[in-house]
């Protein structure tokens, strides 16, 4: 459905990428209609914290937003120059940068979330947003409908705390199979989360064990549980990003980081690129392949390397990160190098695609390569500790007292339900 010069632009999905497109197009005077099957932007989330990285480009992402006409002051963000890095041997070290390394924002429907901040800007620019509106992809110009399959899942617990703001990033293949766990505390609210890159049964034990570890090593968090949250990631490479005049943006186009799951910068950028194409200010396919696809491919190579080696690779990453920081007086250049494509990883990419990814076709006939949700390994079969069992008991008491769970499956399901 190619867009003609004066016809209304139809966008499927009122998430970050769809709203970014809507802001740019509406500000340029185009009639824009955004459709979403949910009640509101951010309804897919429930107040969980996420990070916007600032290392894949020498340009600060918030400066990019301002250049595009998107105001980052419309939503709450907390900037960080440092992170507490925890290696598989439980050694805690501080990674630091003189530059803003990343920002923590909140997802959801509260006024201060990034979802609502972009929504307000889209409406102010003149866009029309239709919630509880189900449309067909073939009737839309921009497809921003989020993930379809499942390559990984994340489970977290939100809690109240008197602890100071901090972010901790833990490499540990046991409590976060193939991935990492983390703790974020912002202004009296905390989130402990574990990411699972391998499909598990009794998956709540991984979260319980993560919480128990952080409580033991950070007793000052004095955790008061509120609710548990969860989500999934769908990691794909698309053969094309503009098909039959339709622009596939954000997760709908597989545009996110497959190593650590950072996707908001890619999502917003792709939404902007789609709008620029419609306005005659660039070619979407070329913009994606130049600015985003090399980063995405590189992240799959990094993911492949981590899948093969596990904690040994995690330990190596942590050690090299600290060694680089000591040498340069700044830890950010190492992370930038980790995400930046180089000759070695470009050579590996074709083998990674053949050996790690599954070729499939979507319902509308597009060819994609998807990272499958890997099977559990023998070492993933363990019983939770006594401390983790206490965490579970406390959560059960909180739940009986009104604590909510924002994902439908619980401990005995192997993944969050999805449609192909």
> In this structure, what CATH number is given to the domain that contains residue 272?
3.50.50.60
137 and 28 within one domain: yes
What is the reported pLDDT for 71? Answer: 98
Q: How many domains does the chain have?
A: 2
167 and 217 within one domain: yes
Token couple for 420: 């192909």
Question: Does residue 357 lie within any of the structural domains?
Answer: no
What is the reported pLDDT for 4? Answer: 67
Neighbour tally for 216: CB within 10 Å: 11
192 and 70 within one domain: no
Comparing CA positions, the residue from 83, 109, 114 lying closest to residue 96 is 83
Residue that is last in its domain, among 269, 296, 323: 296
Question: Does residue 374 lie within any of the structural domains?
Answer: no
Question: Does residue 376 lie within any of the structural domains?
Answer: no
Question: Does residue 351 lie within any of the structural domains?
Answer: no
52 and 34 within one domain: yes
SS3 347: helix
Give the whole-angstrom CA distance, residue 314 versus residue 293: 24
Give the whole-angstrom CA distance, residue 369 versus residue 350: 12
128 and 66 within one domain: yes
63 and 30 within one domain: yes
Instruction: List strands edge to edge, sheet with 367-370.
Output: 236-238, 367-370, 358-361
Token couple for 214: 């952080």
User: Bridge-partner residues for 168, per DSSP?
Assistant: 84, 183
What is the reported pLDDT for 1? Answer: 56
Give the domain range for residue 122: 9-78+101-148+234-296
Question: Does residue 360 lie within any of the structural domains?
Answer: no
Q: What is the mean pLDDT of each run of 10 residues along the chain (420 residues)?
A: 79 98 98 97 91 95 98 98 95 96 96 98 98 96 91 95 96 92 97 95 94 96 95 93 96 93 95 98 98 96 85 89 95 94 94 94 91 93 96 95 71 32
Asked whether the beta carbons of 234 and 251 are under 8 A apart, the reply is: yes
Give the whole-angstrom CA distance, residue 5 versus residue 377: 54
Residue that is last in its domain, among 296, 317, 337: 296
Give the whole-angstrom CA distance, residue 54 versus residue 62: 9
What is the reported pLDDT for 2? Answer: 62
141 and 42 within one domain: yes
125 and 244 within one domain: yes
What is the reported pLDDT for 310? Answer: 73
Q: Which residue is listed with tokens 């339709």?
A: 246
117 and 49 within one domain: yes
Question: Does residue 60 lie within any of the structural domains?
Answer: yes
What is the reported pLDDT for 146? Answer: 83
Residues in contact with 179: Cβ distance below 8 Å, sequence separation at least 6, in sequence order: 152, 194, 195, 196, 197, 260, 261
176 and 219 within one domain: yes
173 and 209 within one domain: yes
By the 10 Å C-beta count (0-12 exposed, 13-18 middle, 19+ buried), 6 is classed as exposed
Question: Does residue 160 lie within any of the structural domains?
Answer: yes
**Cα-based torsion angle of the residue sequence 348, 351, 353, 356 in order, rounded to the nearest 10 degrees:** -110
158 and 23 within one domain: no
Residue that is last in its domain, among 265, 296, 327: 296
What is the reported pLDDT for 409? Answer: 40
Instruction: Tell if the pTM clears 0.85, that is, is over it.
Output: yes
CA terminus-to-terminus distance, the chain = 23
**Ramachandran class of 278: left when φ > 0, alpha when ψ lies in -120 to 50, beta otherwise:** alpha
Question: Does residue 42 lie within any of the structural domains?
Answer: yes
């Amino acid at each position: 459905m190619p867009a003609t010069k004066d016809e209304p632009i139809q966008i499927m999905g009122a998430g970050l990428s769809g709203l970014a497109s809507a802001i740019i197009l509406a500000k340029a005077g185009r009639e824009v209609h955004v459709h979403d099957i949910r009640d509101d932007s951010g309804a897919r989330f429930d107040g969980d914290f996420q990070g916007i990285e600032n290392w894949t480009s020498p340009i600060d992402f918030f400066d990019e937003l301002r250049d595009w006409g998107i105001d980052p002051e419309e939503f709450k963000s907390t900037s960080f120059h440092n992170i507490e890095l925890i290696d598989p041997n439980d050694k805690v070290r501080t990674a630091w940068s003189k530059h803003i390394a990343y920002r923590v924002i909140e997802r959801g429907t509260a006024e201060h979330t990034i979802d609502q901040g972009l929504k307000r800007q889209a409406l102010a620019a003149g866009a029309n947003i239709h919630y509880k509106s189900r449309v067909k992809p073939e009737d839309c110009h921009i497809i921003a409908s989020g993930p379809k399959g499942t390559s990984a899942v994340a489970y977290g617990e939100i809690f109240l705390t008197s602890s100071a703001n901090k972010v901790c990033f833990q490499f540990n293949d046991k409590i976060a199979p193939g991935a990492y766990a983390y703790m974020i505390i912002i202004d009296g609210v905390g989130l402990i989360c574990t990411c699972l890159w391998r499909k598990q049964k009794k998956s709540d034990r991984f979260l319980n064990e993560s919480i128990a570890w952080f409580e033991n090593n950070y007793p000052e968090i004095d955790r008061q549980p509120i609710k548990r949250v969860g989500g999934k990631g769908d990691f794909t490479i698309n053969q094309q990003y503009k098909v039959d005049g339709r622009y596939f943006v954000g997760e709908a186009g597989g545009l996110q980081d497959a190593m650590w799951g950072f996707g908001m910068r890619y999502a917003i950028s792709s939404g902007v690129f789609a709008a620029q194409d419609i306005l005659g200010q660039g070619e979407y396919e070329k913009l994606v392949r130049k600015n985003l696809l090399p980063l995405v491919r590189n992240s799959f190579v990094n993911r492949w390397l981590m899948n093969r080696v596990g904690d040994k690779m995690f330990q190596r990453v942590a050690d090299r990160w600290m060694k680089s920081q000591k040498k340069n007086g700044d830890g950010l250049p190492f992370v930038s190098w980790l995400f930046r494509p180089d000759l070695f990883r470009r050579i590996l990419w074709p083998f990674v695609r053949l050996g790690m990814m599954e070729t499939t076709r979507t319902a509308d006939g597009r060819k994609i390569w998807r990272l499958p949700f890997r099977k559990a390994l023998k070492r993933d079969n363990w019983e939770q500790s006594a401390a983790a069992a206490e965490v579970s008991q406390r959560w059960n008491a909180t739940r009986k007292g009104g604590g909510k769970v924002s994902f439908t499956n619980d401990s005995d399901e192997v993944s969050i339900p999805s449609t192909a």
